[in-house]
Amino acid sequence: MKILVTGGAGFIGSNFVRRTLEDAYPGLEGAEVVVLDAITYSGNLENLAPVAESPRYSFVHGDIRNSELLDTLLPTVDAVVHFAAESHVDRSVRDASIFVETNVLGTQKLLDAALRSGLKRFVHVSTDEVYGSIAEGSWNEERPLEPNSPYSASKAGSDLLARSYYRTHGLNVAITRCSNNYGPYHFPEKVIPLFVTNLIDDAHVPLYGAGNNIRDWLHVDDHTRGIAMVLVGGRAGEIYNIGGGTELTNLELTQLLLDATGKDWSYVDKVQDRLGHDLRYSVDISKIRTELGYEPLVPFAQGLADVVQWYRDNRQWWEPLKARAAL
């Protein structure tokens, strides 16, 4: 199999690429991988350095909105795993335009190219944020979409487009929706890498509002393994939630990060809450568990300890990124 991975130089996409080329996923052994990435501020070829010499890997610098480029790439591959997206909520609050252009228009361009090429398989990677906020219980895949940020609204739009291309054109599309990811190579504007890198440098960290917002944490290895399962065995036209099973308030998460870095609450600055900040996310993973045998395998305590150590050991990776993004 030959797979085109859009956004494959980003945090989650690069993890999928590295693990695929390590033959970590049943059914994808020996697969070739072509990465298509525009290398915007959060894309980083260093994320792919561990596999850069693999004869099964190639890289194309380009934009998913470029139909001419897509028409040269799509006929050469068997499947697309579509990670490419603008994803930072705070940036979408400040300016939503690039989120609509990349996440909605870019996905439409990619789907159209897939149709023209006769692509065999398309996996669209999305987020639990499209469901909105839930006070109790967990969302299943039938939950109506109620996104509350420009980012999640743009992802909801791309999800609906992907589903429509299955319903209208019969394109073999499956959609995944994940909870909050963490792991190595995570761009340091997101909460865990931002807090860890600030704290190990004796800098303060910003905590939104009262810190009562709840998220379900999913190790990136578990997430990309779930995506691989959907690519290999997921049903066309279906949606699969992928969760980690560890719900924490931001206060609880902050305490864990303070403990892990040997700091106290004097390093935490309470800041004004984010506009439209969802209180709680929680996904029901019964469907992917029953159909494909998925289970999250990385215990959160171990995963978090490993991530903190990774950032301690890889300063040369994250320092330039923080400087470039002025974090």
Residues acting as catalytic residues: 128-129, 151
C-alpha 136/C-alpha 234 separation (Å) is: 28
| DSSP states along 111-144 | HHHHHHHT-SEEEEEEEGGGG---SSS-B-TTSP
Determine the length of the chain: 327
Three-state secondary structure call for residue 149: coil
Phi/psi of residue 105, each to 5°? -65, -40
Distance CA 79, CA 73 (A): 11
How far apart, in whole angstroms, are the C-alpha atoms of residue 51 and residue 30? 14
Short-list 93, 113, 106, 153, CA closest to 129: 153
174 strand-pairing partners = 123
Cα–Cα nearest to 82, from 146, 180, 3: 3
Q: Report CA-CA distances (Å) from 294 to 8, 128, 161.
A: 23, 17, 26
Of 223, 149, 210, which Cα lies nearest the Cα of 180?
223
Write the DSSP assignment of 28-46 as a string of letters: -TT-EEEEEE---TT--GG
Identify which of 156, 195, 10, 28 has the alpha carbon closest to the alpha carbon of residue 19: 28
Give one word for 183, left, alpha or beta, with left for phi > 0 and alpha for psi -120 to 50.
left
User: Could you report how far apart the first and last alpha carbons of the chain are, in Å?
Assistant: 40
What is the C-alpha to C-alpha distance for residues 251 and 273, in angstroms, rounded to an integer? 13
